[in-house]
Amino acid sequence: MIGRLNHVAIAVPDLAAASAQYRTTLGAVVRPPQDEPDHGVTVVFIDLPNTKIELLCPLGADSPIRGFLDKNPAGGIHHLCYEVDDILTARDRLKAEGARVLGSGEPKIGAHGKPVLFLHPKDFNGCLIELEQA
Protein backbone atom coordinates (compact mmCIF):
# COMPACT_ATOMS: atom_id res chain seq x y z
CA MET A 1 0.00 0.00 0.00
CA ILE A 2 2.66 2.57 0.90
CA GLY A 3 4.76 3.91 -1.93
CA ARG A 4 7.75 6.21 -2.06
CA LEU A 5 9.40 7.79 0.96
CA ASN A 6 8.22 11.37 0.48
CA HIS A 7 10.38 12.88 3.23
CA VAL A 8 12.13 12.44 6.54
CA ALA A 9 11.23 15.20 9.00
CA ILE A 10 13.74 16.52 11.53
CA ALA A 11 12.62 18.80 14.36
CA VAL A 12 15.20 21.54 14.92
CA PRO A 13 15.54 24.25 17.57
CA ASP A 14 17.00 26.80 15.12
CA LEU A 15 15.60 26.67 11.60
CA ALA A 16 17.99 29.24 10.17
CA ALA A 17 21.04 27.45 11.55
CA ALA A 18 19.85 24.04 10.36
CA SER A 19 19.01 25.42 6.90
CA ALA A 20 22.42 27.03 6.62
CA GLN A 21 24.10 23.79 7.66
CA TYR A 22 22.30 21.79 4.98
CA ARG A 23 22.98 24.47 2.36
CA THR A 24 26.61 25.15 3.16
CA THR A 25 28.08 22.19 5.02
CA LEU A 26 26.11 19.46 3.24
CA GLY A 27 25.73 21.30 -0.08
CA ALA A 28 22.01 20.61 -0.48
CA VAL A 29 19.26 22.50 -2.31
CA VAL A 30 17.34 24.21 0.52
CA ARG A 31 13.94 25.79 -0.11
CA PRO A 32 12.70 28.94 1.66
CA PRO A 33 10.81 28.56 4.97
CA GLN A 34 7.01 28.11 4.86
CA ASP A 35 4.71 28.77 7.80
CA GLU A 36 2.08 26.05 8.27
CA PRO A 37 -0.27 27.54 10.88
CA ASP A 38 -2.73 24.61 10.60
CA HIS A 39 0.07 22.28 11.71
CA GLY A 40 1.81 24.62 14.17
CA VAL A 41 5.15 24.45 12.40
CA THR A 42 7.44 26.35 10.08
CA VAL A 43 9.00 24.01 7.54
CA VAL A 44 12.01 24.09 5.25
CA PHE A 45 12.24 21.47 2.51
CA ILE A 46 15.53 20.16 1.25
CA ASP A 47 15.51 18.43 -2.11
CA LEU A 48 17.59 15.29 -2.41
CA PRO A 49 17.76 13.21 -5.60
CA ASN A 50 15.60 10.42 -4.16
CA THR A 51 13.56 12.07 -1.40
CA LYS A 52 13.25 15.22 0.68
CA ILE A 53 14.21 16.31 4.17
CA GLU A 54 11.70 18.46 6.07
CA LEU A 55 13.17 20.65 8.79
CA LEU A 56 10.49 21.53 11.37
CA CYS A 57 10.46 24.32 13.89
CA PRO A 58 7.56 25.24 16.24
CA LEU A 59 5.14 27.95 15.12
CA GLY A 60 2.88 29.36 17.84
CA ALA A 61 2.42 28.44 21.49
CA ASP A 62 0.49 25.19 20.86
CA SER A 63 2.88 23.66 18.35
CA PRO A 64 2.66 19.85 18.36
CA ILE A 65 6.46 19.61 18.12
CA ARG A 66 7.14 21.76 21.19
CA GLY A 67 7.05 18.73 23.51
CA PHE A 68 9.35 16.79 21.19
CA LEU A 69 11.93 19.58 21.29
CA ASP A 70 11.58 19.85 25.06
CA LYS A 71 12.59 16.17 25.25
CA ASN A 72 15.15 16.48 22.44
CA PRO A 73 16.58 20.00 22.77
CA ALA A 74 19.22 19.44 20.09
CA GLY A 75 16.55 18.25 17.64
CA GLY A 76 15.92 14.80 16.20
CA ILE A 77 14.08 12.71 13.64
CA HIS A 78 10.40 13.48 14.13
CA HIS A 79 8.53 11.49 11.46
CA LEU A 80 8.70 9.64 8.17
CA CYS A 81 6.29 10.42 5.34
CA TYR A 82 5.16 7.68 2.98
CA GLU A 83 3.12 8.28 -0.15
CA VAL A 84 -0.20 6.54 -0.73
CA ASP A 85 -2.42 6.63 -3.81
CA ASP A 86 -5.67 7.19 -1.91
CA ILE A 87 -5.51 8.53 1.61
CA LEU A 88 -9.07 7.64 2.63
CA THR A 89 -8.70 4.05 1.46
CA ALA A 90 -5.38 3.86 3.32
CA ARG A 91 -6.91 5.34 6.47
CA ASP A 92 -9.85 2.95 6.47
CA ARG A 93 -7.59 -0.06 5.94
CA LEU A 94 -5.27 1.02 8.76
CA LYS A 95 -8.14 1.65 11.16
CA ALA A 96 -9.55 -1.77 10.33
CA GLU A 97 -6.11 -3.19 11.24
CA GLY A 98 -6.28 -1.42 14.60
CA ALA A 99 -3.88 1.45 13.89
CA ARG A 100 -4.66 4.78 15.51
CA VAL A 101 -5.00 7.83 13.29
CA LEU A 102 -4.13 11.05 15.11
CA GLY A 103 -6.44 14.05 15.44
CA SER A 104 -9.95 13.95 14.01
CA GLY A 105 -9.05 11.18 11.58
CA GLU A 106 -9.85 13.46 8.67
CA PRO A 107 -6.96 14.37 6.35
CA LYS A 108 -5.50 17.89 6.61
CA ILE A 109 -3.79 19.69 3.80
CA GLY A 110 -0.03 19.28 4.28
CA ALA A 111 2.99 21.32 3.32
CA HIS A 112 2.78 20.23 -0.33
CA GLY A 113 -0.89 21.17 -0.69
CA LYS A 114 -1.91 17.50 -0.56
CA PRO A 115 -3.98 15.62 2.05
CA VAL A 116 -2.03 14.10 4.94
CA LEU A 117 -2.71 12.00 8.03
CA PHE A 118 -0.53 10.96 10.96
CA LEU A 119 -0.44 7.51 12.57
CA HIS A 120 0.28 6.90 16.23
CA PRO A 121 3.97 6.14 16.85
CA LYS A 122 3.14 3.47 19.42
CA ASP A 123 1.46 1.47 16.66
CA PHE A 124 4.51 1.71 14.35
CA ASN A 125 7.63 0.75 16.25
CA GLY A 126 7.96 4.09 17.99
CA CYS A 127 7.99 6.03 14.72
CA LEU A 128 5.46 8.73 13.90
CA ILE A 129 4.25 8.13 10.35
CA GLU A 130 2.75 10.69 8.01
CA LEU A 131 0.81 9.51 4.98
CA GLU A 132 0.54 11.84 2.01
CA GLN A 133 -1.70 11.29 -0.96
CA ALA A 134 0.68 11.36 -3.91
Three-state DSSP at 34 gives strand
Q: Please, which of residues 36-55 interact with Co ion by CB under 5 A?
A: 54
CB of 43 to Co ion, least distance (A): 7
9 sits near Co ion (criterion: CB under 5 A): yes
CB atoms within 10 A of CB 8: 16
Q: Please, which of residues 64-103 interact with Co ion by CB under 5 A?
A: 81
83 is catalytic: no
Q: Which CB sits closer to Co ion, 3 or 24?
A: 3
Q: Which CB sits closer to Co ion, 65 or 94?
A: 65
Q: Which CB sits closer to Co ion, 98 or 126?
A: 126
Instruction: Give the pairing type, strands 41-47 and 129-133.
Output: unpaired
Size of the site for Co ion (CB under 5 A): 4
Distances (CA, A) of 24 to 15, 29, 66, 76, 103: 14, 10, 27, 20, 37
CB of 128 to Co ion, least distance (A): 9
Q: Which CB sits closer to Co ion, 24 or 35?
A: 35
57 sits near Co ion (criterion: CB under 5 A): no
E-strand ranges in the chain read 5-11, 29-30, 34-36, 41-47, 52-58, 76-84, 108-109, 115-119, 129-133
Binding site for Co ion (CB under 5 A): 9, 54, 81, 130
User: Which are the catalytic amino acids?
Assistant: 130
